[in-house]
Chain A
Amino acid sequence: MTTTLAPATRETTATTKAAPRTAARTRRTAVAWLFLAPFTLLFLLYTAIPAVAALGFSLTDLRGADLRTPLAVNFTGLDNYLRLFQDDSFLRDIGNTALFVAAGVPLTMGVGFTLALALDSGIQRLRGALRTVFFAPVVTNVVAAALIWQYAFHPDGTVNQALAAVGLAGPNWLDDPDLAMPVVVLLGVWRNFGTAMVLFLAGLQAIPRDVYEAAALDGAGRWRQLRYITLPLLLPTTLMVSVLLTVFYLQVFDEPYLLTDGGPLGSTESVALYTYHQFGAGQFGMSSAASFVMLVLVAVVSVVQFRLLRSRT
C-alpha cells in the first residue's frame, strides 16, 4: 500500500499547487504508513490472517494430513461447533476453565492487593528488596517452575515430607483428580500475583496523600480510610487487573499442560489445552472451532471491561 502511495504523492505536490494542503497530508500519510509497515506486515501475516483463517478452518473438516492436499478438505458448516457442544470432554473443559477463573482471579488479586497495601503502608526498609522478591516468579520460566512444582508435589517430594514431619500422610497430589486442580491453580497464582501487586502498587501510589490526611483530621480510622478512600479510588485499577487476570486464566495452558497434561482423567484440561490436544491429534478443523469459541469468550470479557472502564472513569 505504501509503495504505491509514495510516488503518486510526490507527483501531486510537484504539479498541483492548488491543493498543497491535501497533497501534504497525503504525503504525511504515506510516510506514516511506511513507518508502520514492518509492524503491519507481521501483524497481517501472524495475527489478522490467522484469526480470519481460523474461522474458515473451523467450518471445514481440515486435518493435519490434508495440509498438502487442499482439495480433500470439505466445507462442513457448523458441524464442528455442533460436535463441540455435544462433546462431554469439551463441556468438562469449559467447566474446568471456569474453575480456573473462579479460583485463580480472586486468589491472585487478593494476594497481589494485600502485598501492595503492605508495601505501600509507609515501610521504608526492605521495601525494594521485597518488591523484587515478590515479582521474581513473574519472570521465571514456566517450564522450569512447573518441573520444580512436580518435584515438590511428588508422592515422596518436599511437600509430603514436610507433612510427614508433622505426622500427616501426604496424598499423591498430581495423580488425584480432586487435588491436581488446586496445585495447578497454585502455580498460576504464584506466577501471577507479582503482576497484580505491581499494578495495584502503581494505583495506590497515584492516590494523593492529602486525601488521607484530610480524612484522618475528620477522625476516620484506617479501616474507614481503606473502605471509603482507597477502595473507591482504586476501582479503575481493580477492574483492569481483574479483566487482565480473567483473560489470562480463560486462556490458561502452560500450567495444566506442564504439570498434568490435563489429567488425571481430564480434571485439569482447559479449553486451550483441548484446542492443543485436537491440534496434536491432527483435527485442525475441530481445534480451530474450539479456539474460535475461546476467541469469542475473550472478546466478550474485553468488551465488558472497556464498557465498565469507560463508564467508571
Chain B
Amino acid sequence: MTALTPTTLKRPALYGALILCALLTVLPFAWGVSGSLRGLDEIRSDPGALLPHHPTLGNFTRLFETQGFGRFALNSLVVAAMVVAGNIAAASAAGYALAKLDFAGRRLAFGTVMAALMVPFTAVFVTQFVITVDLGLADTLAGIALPGAALPMSVFIMRQYALSVPDELLEAARIDGAGEFRIFFGIFLPLAGPAVATITIMSFLTSWNNFVWPLIVAQSMSTYTLPVGLAATSQAAAHVTDYGLLLAGAIVVMLPVLVLFLCLQRYFVQGIAGTGMR
C-alpha cells in the first residue's frame, strides 16, 4: 500500500499503480457484463470464464418476458419520482428557513436535522413498519416512498447552499414589501438550481438503490422495486444457479444509475462530499 504513495515513486510508476487499481475497481462490472451475455449452457460448462464464447442477449429478453422486470423498473421509477418530488419540496423549504429565517426554535430545528442524520435505520424500521401498516400503506408504492420523502441529508445540503446566498438580496426584497413566500419562490428557488440538482441526484440514488425498506413493505410482486425483484429472483434461482439471468438483472438494476453518474458525476460527488452520506 505504501508503495503507492507519490512521495517514493516516479510518475510512470504512479500512473501504472493507479491504472492497476482502476482495473481492479471495475473488474466486478466486467464480470457482471460478461456473465450476463452468456447462455445457461455456457455458464454451466465453463462458469468462471471471463469472456463469453457466444455472446447473447437472451438473458435480458427472458428477464423482461418471464421475470416481470418491466413492472419492477416501473415501480422503481414511480417510487423514485415520489421521493425526489418530496425531497425537493420539503428540503428546499426547510433548508431555506434554517439558513435564512430568524425564529424561535431554530437551533432546536437544526439540531433535529443533524440528529436525524444519525438515527440508524435498524433502530426504527420495526416501528416504521407498524406505522405503515396502521396507515394502510403496507404493500403500496406510497408506503415504500414516504419515509424517504424528506431526507435530513437533503435539508442539510439545501441549508448549506442557502447560507451562501447573500442576505442583502433577500433584505432588499423584504424592504420592497415582499412576503417570505414570494421571496422564497421568486428569489431563492430560482437561485437554488445547483442545490436542487444535487438533492434530485442524491434522493434519486437513495431511492433507486434502497433495498431493505422496500423488501419489508413490498409483499407482492406487483409492488416489488428492482432491487427487491432482483433479490427475489436470486433466491428463487438459487438451486438452478441461473447466473446469466441474475447477472442480466444486476446490469438492469445498476446500469441506469451508472450512466446517470457518468453524465452528472459532479453532483454525485458534491452530494457525498457535502454530507459524507449516501
Interchain nearest-CB distance for B76 vs A (Å)? 10
CB-defined contacts of A90 to chain B, threshold 8 Å = none
Partner of A141, one of B25, B91, B246, B253: B253
CB-defined contacts of B149 to chain A, threshold 8 Å = 42
Give the 7 A-B residue pairs with the shortest CB-CB distance, closest first.
A161-B48, A121-B6, A222-B7, A50-B127, A144-B250, A32-B103, A35-B97
Q: Does B119 contact A (CB under 8 A)?
A: yes
A35-B184, A132-B265 known; A148 vs B47 contact (CB < 8 Å): no
Partner of A158, one of B22, B48, B261, B278: B48
Q: Quick one: which of B12-32 are within 8 Å of A by CB? A: 14-15, 17-19, 21-22, 25-26, 28-29, 31-32
Partner of A29, one of B104, B147, B181: B104
CB-defined contacts of B97 to chain A, threshold 8 Å = 32-33, 35-36
CB-defined contacts of B125 to chain A, threshold 8 Å = 50, 279, 291
Give the interface segment out of B53-61, B62-70, B207-215: B207-215
Partner of A298, one of B11, B98, B118, B211: B118
Asked if residues A141 and B227 are in contact (CB atoms below 8 Å), the reply is yes
Q: Quick one: which of A114-163 are within 8 Å of B by CB? A: 114-115, 117-119, 121-123, 125-126, 130-145, 147-149, 151-152, 154, 156-162
Interchain nearest-CB distance for B143 vs A (Å)? 11
Q: Which residue of B lies closest to A303 (CB)?
A: B118
6 A-B residue contacts at CB 8 Å? A31-B181, A42-B86, A43-B150, A126-B19, A199-B273, A272-B120
Q: Which residue of B lies closest to A196 (CB)?
A: B276
A53-B127, A199-B273 known; A144 vs B251 contact (CB < 8 Å): yes
Asked if residues A114 and B272 are in contact (CB atoms below 8 Å), the reply is no
Asked if residues A294 and B122 are in contact (CB atoms below 8 Å), the reply is yes
CB-defined contacts of A57 to chain B, threshold 8 Å = 126-127
Give the CA-CA distance A300 to B130 in the complex, in Å.
27
Contact flags (1/0) for B221-261 with A, using CB distance below 8 Å? 00000110011001000000101001101110110011001
Q: Which residue of A lies closest to B98 (CB)?
A: A36
Interchain nearest-CB distance for B22 vs A (Å)? 5
Asked if residues A156 and B47 are in contact (CB atoms below 8 Å), the reply is yes
Q: Does A173 contact B (CB under 8 A)?
A: no
Asked if residues B101 and A133 are in contact (CB atoms below 8 Å), the reply is no
CB-defined contacts of B94 to chain A, threshold 8 Å = 35-36, 38-40
Q: Does A100 contact B (CB under 8 A)?
A: no
Partner of B258, one of A39, A139, A158: A139
Interchain nearest-CB distance for A210 vs B (Å)? 19
> Most chain-B CB neighbours within 10 Å: which of A40, A53, A111, A143?
A143
Contact flags (1/0) for B135-146 with A, using CB distance below 8 Å? 000000000001
Where the two chains meet, the residues of A that have a C-beta atom closer than 8 Å to any C-beta of B are: 25-26, 28-29, 31-33, 35-36, 38-40, 42-43, 45-47, 49-51, 53-54, 57, 67, 110-111, 114-115, 117-119, 121-123, 125-126, 130-145, 147-149, 151-152, 154, 156-162, 190, 195, 198-199, 202, 221-223, 225-226, 240-241, 244, 247, 250-251, 253-254, 257-258, 271-272, 275-276, 279, 284, 287-288, 291-292, 294-295, 298-299, 302
CB-defined contacts of B227 to chain A, threshold 8 Å = 141-144
Q: Which residue of A lies closest to B24 (CB)?
A: A190
Contact flags (1/0) for B28-50 with A, using CB distance below 8 Å? 11011001000000000001111
Partner of B247, one of A122, A148, A251: A148
Give the CA-CA distance A195 to B278 in the complex, in Å.
9
Where the two chains meet, the residues of B that have a C-beta atom closer than 8 Å to any C-beta of A are: 1-2, 4-8, 11, 14-15, 17-19, 21-22, 25-26, 28-29, 31-32, 35, 47-50, 86, 89-91, 93-94, 96-98, 101-106, 109, 112-113, 116, 118-131, 133, 146-147, 149-150, 152, 155, 180-181, 184, 205, 208-209, 211-212, 226-227, 230-231, 234, 241, 243, 246-247, 249-251, 253-254, 257-258, 261-262, 265, 268-269, 272-273, 276-278
CB-defined contacts of A279 to chain B, threshold 8 Å = 125-126, 129
Partner of A151, one of B26, B113, B209, B246: B246
CB-defined contacts of B112 to chain A, threshold 8 Å = 40, 43
Asked if residues B250 and A143 are in contact (CB atoms below 8 Å), the reply is yes
A50-B127, A130-B18, A151-B35 known; A67 vs B133 contact (CB < 8 Å): yes
